[in-house]
């Protein structure tokens, strides 16, 4: 079964609204989680590193005020896309690593966001 | 900066062998991963290399040469279900942060 769970799997929202995506580690604690974005027929692009109890670290070119990340507990990170626009429509996916399982990195199921 | 290159597309025949190459130039290196991704789904872990050489895992093998910044994924006895995107990813700084390559779309034909 999944060890990293994302919710929702898909969401449609209107332009200008905000959408929250959750990423949970189910069987382990994750002090860091990672958020990626993937456009159709493209690879995964790292957006930010979510750090438990502190600010997220954003990759170059990613607007921190638009993509709000909160990592309030060791098992939950949330990504909020604020004032969404159609160009934000994408597949968003999170990952986390279990320090007790070596180098295994687990990915969430992904969340499809469509902004209309 | 980080630069990870893969061929965009490849086509192979069912039952055959295919090799997907990956070259990388990254600021650091703490391991290379291969993932399989079917359309609309999350990536699935295939292999991990941190030392030079070949890692074999059933029908899948992965090779790494750190001095050349090169890896390949070898898929044997191809099946139709192997049609997917194959992603090469490098961990530049350790931990679980990955930088992904461009991805290779593999199509397996009869």
Q: How many CB pairs under 8 A join A and B?
A: 51
Q: Do B102 and A107 make contact, defined as CB atoms within 8 angstroms? A: no
Quick one: pLDDT at residue A100?
Answer: 63
Q: How confident is the model at residue A1 (pLDDT cuts 50, 70, 90)?
A: low
Closest CA to B75 of B101, B48, B57: B57
- A80 Cβ under 8 Å from any chain B Cβ: no
Contact A43 B33 (CB under 8 A): no
Mean pLDDT of chain B: 94
Place of tokens 């070119």: A61
Between CA B99 and CA B41 the distance in angstroms is 18
CA distances from B37 to A20, A106, B30, B47 (A): 24, 13, 22, 13
| Mean pLDDT computed over B41-66 | 94
Residue with tokens 């995964």: A44
CB B100 within 8 A of CB B109: no
Q: Please indicate whether, in this complex, the C-beta atoms of A104 and B99 are within 8 angstroms of each other.
A: no
pLDDT (mean) for A44-65: 93
Q: Of chain B residues 13-72, which have a CB less than 8 A from chain A?
A: 31, 33, 40-43, 45, 48, 50
Determine which of A46, A95, A101, A105 to mutate to test the interface with B (most B C-beta atoms within 10 Å).
Answer: A105
B92 touches A: beta carbon within 8 Å? no
* DSSP state, residue A31: S
Q: What's residue A61's pLDDT?
A: 94
pLDDT in tens, A7-26: 999 999 999 999 999 999 99
Is A42 within 8 Å of B99 when comparing Cβ atoms?
Answer: no
Per-residue pLDDT at A98: 73
All residues at 6 or more sequence positions from A112 whose CB lies less than 8 Å from its CB, including other chains: A9, A10, A11, A91, B40
pLDDT of residue B5: 95
Spatial contact of B3 and B100, defined as CB atoms under 8 Å apart: no
- pLDDT (tens digit per residue) in A81-109: 999 999 999 999 999 987 666 667 889 99
């Amino acid at each position: 079964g999944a060890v990293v769970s994302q919710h929702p799997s898909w969401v449609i929202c209107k332009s200008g609204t905000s959408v929250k995506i959750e990423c949970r580690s189910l069987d382990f604690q994750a002090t860091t989680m990672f958020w990626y974005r993937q456009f159709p027929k493209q690879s995964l692009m790292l957006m930010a590193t979510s750090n438990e109890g502190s600010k997220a670290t954003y990759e170059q070119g990613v607007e921190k005020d638009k993509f709000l990340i909160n990592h309030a507990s060791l098992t939950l990170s949330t990504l909020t896309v604020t004032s969404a626009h159609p160009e934000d429509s994408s597949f968003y996916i999170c990952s986390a690593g279990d320090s007790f399982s070596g180098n295994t990195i687990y990915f969430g199921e992904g969340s499809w966001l469509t902004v209309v | 900066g980080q630069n990870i290159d893969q061929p965009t597309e490849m086509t192979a025949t069912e039952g055959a062998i295919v090799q997907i190459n990956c070259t990388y130039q990254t600021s650091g290196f703490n391991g290379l991963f291969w993932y399989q991704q079917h359309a609309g789904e999350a990536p699935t872990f295939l292999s991990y290399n941190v030392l030079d050489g070949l890692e074999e895992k059933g029908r899948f093998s992965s090779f790494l040469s750190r001095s050349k910044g090169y890896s390949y994924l070898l898929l044997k006895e191809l099946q139709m279900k192997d049609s997917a995107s194959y992603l090469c990813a490098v961990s530049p700084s350790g931990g679980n942060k990955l930088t992904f390559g461009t991805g290779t779309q593999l199509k397996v034909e009869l």
